[in-house]
Amino acid sequence: MEQHKQDEIYMGRCLELAANGKGSVAPNPMVGSVVVYNNRVIAEGYHREFGGDHAERMAINAVSDASVLSGSTLYVSLEPCSYHGKTPPCVDLIIEAGIKRVVIAVQDPNPQIKGAGILKLKNAGIDVTVGVLEVEARELNRRFFVYHKKKRPYIILKWAQTLDGFIDGVRKPNDPVAPVWITNELARTLVHRWRSEEQSILIGTNTVEKDNPRLDVRHWSGKNPLRVVLDRKLRLPKQCNVFDGSVSTLVFVGTNSSASSQKAEFLSIPNMELITVDFAKGLEGRLLKELYERNISSLFIEGGAMLINSFLKRKLWDEARVFVGNQFFYDGVRAPEFTGELHNYDEIGDSKLFTYRKYT
């Protein structure tokens, strides 16, 4: 078998391994690595959790006989790091191990690395190949690439709408404060899995008032995302589930509002209290900047329609996941106004799921 085909097979395994870190390593990227000796994988590793050993270190340390490393090839799905962060530089370990060939899927977009790791390996006399399954590697770590290239989190919009295009029915004053379900239970469980894969989740004031959501992953196993709540006039009761202290919560309020709580962090936005119809004017940039500076690489926006429309209007989105439930409301709150290129279609029981992707 020709070398390029072999490289693709082993890199494919790296990407499979890397995906195991989803939801656990952010804001770091998901990375997988394998050590190949005599056309056989002799060790594997992947980045398991933020702050833990990187994939290359896991793979190299898993080799039982270090003497074979000088005749081995190391495959890794992202350029090895070249600076000392929470762990020592992986390039130093690779050089010290005596590995003579390294195959990399894609260059790291992080300005602290971005080619420096590759250059250091080459300067040490190591044969370096870059670009094997690069498209697939970028796809896997699309959040990481957007975070570093656009200086903001990767933004996922999510909503559910009826067959006649409503995301909520007509609410009467005495109606209970609870969600009006459009999709089935399987789809709702899937949403909890999605939440576990992202670092933050955003919701508007009206949705908190009407639905009183928890925004956690209680129907799945994994980390709860940071809850981000908009409450420009501080009108939300402190009895709301988002203020229960069970999950880290960041609340954006207007400049003239002041609040403090041991169960949530409050942050004021200049002129936010003046925002009415054009809800996100002056807000989205500050919100995204704040999350970026907190090393939040992904934002899951669940509603409501005004909030989602404001991000759509400014083209501030990378992915949209739209459920269509098998029912009609005939009246109520219209679904967000949206046109985009379909990336994927699924059927979740009697609900349909349309996924749109803007990221390239």
Give the Cα separation of 180 and 210 in Å (integer).
9
| Cα torsion angle, 148, 149, 150, 156, sign | negative
Pick the catalytic residue from 56, 79, 197, 198: 56
Quote the DSSP letter at residue 177. Answer: S
> Closest Cα partner for 94 from 49, 35, 12?
35
Torsion-angle region of 168 (φ positive above 0: left; ψ -120 to 50: alpha; else: beta): beta
Torsion angle defined by CA atoms of residues 252, 254, 256 and 262, in that order, rounded to the nearest 10 degrees: -10
Tokens representing 8?
A: 């693709």
SS3 call for 217: coil
Give the Cα separation of 317 and 237 in Å (integer).
30
> Closest Cα partner for 301 from 226, 189, 219?
226
- Cβ–Cβ < 8 Å for 299, 150: no
Q: What is the DSSP string of 318-331?
A: SEEEEEE-S---SS
Alpha-helical segments (H) within 178-222:
185-197, 205-211
Q: Is 185 a catalytic residue?
A: no
Q: E strand or H helix at 1, and its extent?
A: none
Catalytic positions, written as ranges: 56
